[in-house]
Amino acid sequence: MAFSRISKLDPPSRGILRKAAVMLGSLLTSLFLLHCLTDRCGTTAPSPVKAQDLTSQTRTKRLVYEWTGGTGYGAARRSSRVLADERAGQVVEDSLILPPPDLVASRRRVSPRFAGQLSPLGEGSKKLPQALIIGVKKGGTRALLEFLRVHPDIRAVGAEPHFFDRNYDNGLEWYRELMPKTLEGQITMEKTPSYFVTREAPARISAMSRDTKLIVVVRDPVTRAISDYTQTLSKKPDIPSFESLTFKNRTTGLIDTSWSAIQIGIYAKHLDNWLQYFPMDQILFVSGERLISDPAGELGRVQDFLGLKRIITDKHFYFNQTKGFPCLKKAEGSSKPHCLGKTKGRTHPNIDPEVVQRLRDFYRPFNMKFYQMTGRFFGWDD
């Protein structure tokens, strides 16, 4: 009888089994999290353990997840605190709290090999330009750049880098360092008008990126040549007259196309060189005349070309009667009106009307070809 009492043991109570199950589950969860903390469980967050229903008769184990705000889901930690349930005299263990899936996605861990390459939030990074204003000199490139800089999604260098014509040997990293910092979605730009007439520039820009968008501001080539001469005259008052520089021989009327002021205006010739490297739909031609008479209209075309929202509109401009140019009501980073500098809008010298007509006759066939190539009539021969 005594032997039978010894051999028959009471079965374990349900409470003991339940506590053992809870402890085993907690141990397995802790091991899994330790595995994640050593970066061995990939980039997908573990699925949360579903909490079982609590009834009035039985309070079962409750699993929740706690997010610690670390650098990735692996920063989730197990918060193990034992709370006494005074009414039931049972033990309830709080475990993990998992962050919402969208928060997990926004905080995914960055691979260590990119560490140190990301800029602080809001600071941005320097990128090679996605768009270039490549010409032409005295066409209105400075005005276009200043107007575009009002757009919040455009960041541009103020000075002309002259990378693809004069400083190419310095390398692309040197060029990148000249650029302003941009945020995701912003466009980096620069303008150097001499690119359009530099024979090597198209190949060099294409080597940087074939997707680069190109903007050319063009102007009546006769007016442009006179404006070019006027700028040079302001720096070198002793240069020969415009008339004498225009002709190789005034008696025969042969135009000197080696003079840069004349040569730049042969737009069709220069465009031929660019079309060997870039398709026409990657080049936008802006009218220098319309940039003065309808700046918002031309800026609308540019914003469309760059894939940007039309933010720069009529409300940004007012016309300065003294200078004869549109000005910005508010410049980039300023609440004050802004007009182009005193070097813009110089008074042109009086040029012999016969010389002007000779130049118009010279440029006419080149202009016609340019209209055909671009599909746009600029009206310089009216």
* pLDDT tens digits, 205-240: 999 999 999 999 999 999 999 999 999 999 999 999
Rg (CA), the chain: 36
Which comes out higher in pLDDT, residue 73 or 142?
142
Which comes out higher in pLDDT, residue 243 or 341?
243
Helix (H/G/I), strand (E/B), else coil: 54: coil
Among the listed residues 265, 179, 263, the one whose alpha carbon sits nearest the alpha carbon of residue 222: 265
CB-based burial label for 294 (10 Å; 0-12, 13-18, 19+) = middle
| Residue 34: pLDDT band with limits 50, 70, 90 | low
What's the whole-number average pLDDT of the chain? 78
| Residue 23: pLDDT band with limits 50, 70, 90 | confident
Rounded Cα–Cα distance for residues 298 and 218 (Å): 12
pLDDT of residue 193: 98
pLDDT of residue 102: 37
pLDDT > 90: what percent of the chain?
57
Rounded Cα–Cα distance for residues 166 and 170 (Å): 9
Annotation says 235 is catalytic = no
Rounded Cα–Cα distance for residues 225 and 310 (Å): 33
Query: Is the pLDDT assigned to residue 139 strictly greater than 60?
Result: yes
Among the listed residues 372, 373, 351, the one whose alpha carbon sits nearest the alpha carbon of residue 360: 351
Average pLDDT rounded to a whole number, residues 36-63: 43
pLDDT of residue 132: 98
Query: Is the pLDDT assigned to residue 137 strictly greater than 60?
Result: yes
pLDDT > 70: what percent of the chain?
67
| Residue 334: pLDDT band with limits 50, 70, 90 | low
Query: Is the pLDDT assigned to residue 101 strictly greater than 60?
Result: no
Among 60-69, 96-105, 372-381, the range with the most confident prediction by mean pLDDT is 372-381
pLDDT of residue 342: 61
Helix (H/G/I), strand (E/B), else coil: 172: helix
pLDDT of residue 49: 41
Rounded Cα–Cα distance for residues 217 and 381 (Å): 18
Say which of 61, 126, 127, 138 is annotated catalytic. 138
Rounded Cα–Cα distance for residues 98 and 313 (Å): 48
Predicted confidence (pLDDT) per residue in 335-350, tens digit: 667 787 665 667 888 9
| Residue 14: pLDDT band with limits 50, 70, 90 | low
Domains, the chain, ranges and CATH?
125-220+263-344+367-374 (3.40.50.300)
| Residue 309: pLDDT band with limits 50, 70, 90 | very high
Rounded Cα–Cα distance for residues 297 and 294 (Å): 5
pLDDT of residue 32: 66
Average pLDDT rounded to a whole number, residues 176-184: 97
pLDDT of residue 141: 97
Among the listed residues 168, 173, 177, the one whose alpha carbon sits nearest the alpha carbon of residue 201: 168
Which comes out higher in pLDDT, residue 125 or 253?
125
pLDDT of residue 67: 34
Rounded Cα–Cα distance for residues 94 and 281 (Å): 63
Query: Is the pLDDT assigned to residue 300 strictly greater than 70?
Result: yes
Predicted confidence (pLDDT) per residue in 262-279, tens digit: 999 999 999 999 999 999
| Residue 52: pLDDT band with limits 50, 70, 90 | very low
For residue 340, what are the CA distances in angstroms to 131, 324, 344?
22, 11, 6
Residues of the binding site for 3'-phosphoadenylyl sulfate? 138-142, 219, 227, 344-348
Q: What percentage of the chain's residues is helix, strand, coil (to nearest 5)?
A: 40, 15, 45
Residues of the binding site? 138-142, 219, 227, 344-348
pLDDT of residue 276: 98
